[in-house]
Amino acid sequence: MFAVLKTGGKQYKVSSGDMLRVEKLAADAGEKVQFNEILMLGGDKPVVGAPLVDGAAVQAEVVDQIKGDKVIHFVKRRRKHGSQRTKGHRQQLTLLRVTDILEKGGDKSGVKAAMGAGSVSAAAVSTAPAQKAEPKKAAPKKAEAQAEAPKAEPKKAAPKKAAKADAGADDLKQLSGVGPALEKKLLEAGVTTFAQIAAWTEADVAAMDEKLSFKGRIEREGWIEQAKELAKG
């Protein structure tokens, strides 16, 4: 049995026990990670996703964080004496050993999702709500301070945050790479909840990339997978 998975903008055909080199993941050696973007399952009864296979997953163990072969970039300009430049580059990679291919139940396995090193780790995503809880608890104290000291009237940000929560909007800044400016763009485009992002199709992603000039950020940062996890609460 084999599976075709997608990570780092590339597709890989893997079987259980295979050694695999992928774009660097946010994981340490010895950790177990799970790839949830499965395009196809092969075997006696092949299954092709549309675009992904529901519930399928590939689990792997991180062997080591490595670097690829050095690539030499040499530039020499004609008619400019001594004008030349040599640059070297080694791509950062993650070496994996495929352990399991799950046909079903991947969304309930509890294994850490494989995320790119440039994205927020699963641990950071899980702790983000706790970090946001402190300002909400401080709101009643601000209200009491306003009652005691009339000069504190200009600081009325807490009621606005409460109004936003009542409107049913999620904190989109919990997604990887989303800051206040990017969150404002999403809200202006009518995207207010994780459930909306989790339900995006390939056509929706392409339209949003073109509308807001994301240039592949949605797939690169794994927003849809993060939104599915965050929407579960």
- Of the candidates 22, 54, 61, the one whose C-alpha atom is nearest the C-alpha of residue 40 is 54
Q: Any idea what DSSP says for residue 112?
A: P
Tens-place pLDDT, residues 44-98: 889 999 999 999 999 999 999 999 999 998 888 877 677 778 889 999 999 999 9
Q: What are the tens digits of pLDDT across the range 171-202? A: 888 887 788 887 888 888 888 888 888 888 88
Structural tokens at position 12 = 């890989």
Report the chain's terminal Cα–Cα distance, integer Å.
34
Q: Is the pLDDT of residue 145 over 60?
A: no
Tell me the chain's radius of gyration from C-alpha atoms: 23
Position 156 scores a pLDDT of 57
pLDDT of res. 211? 78
**Average pLDDT of span 114-119:** 80
Mean pLDDT (whole number) for 207-212: 79
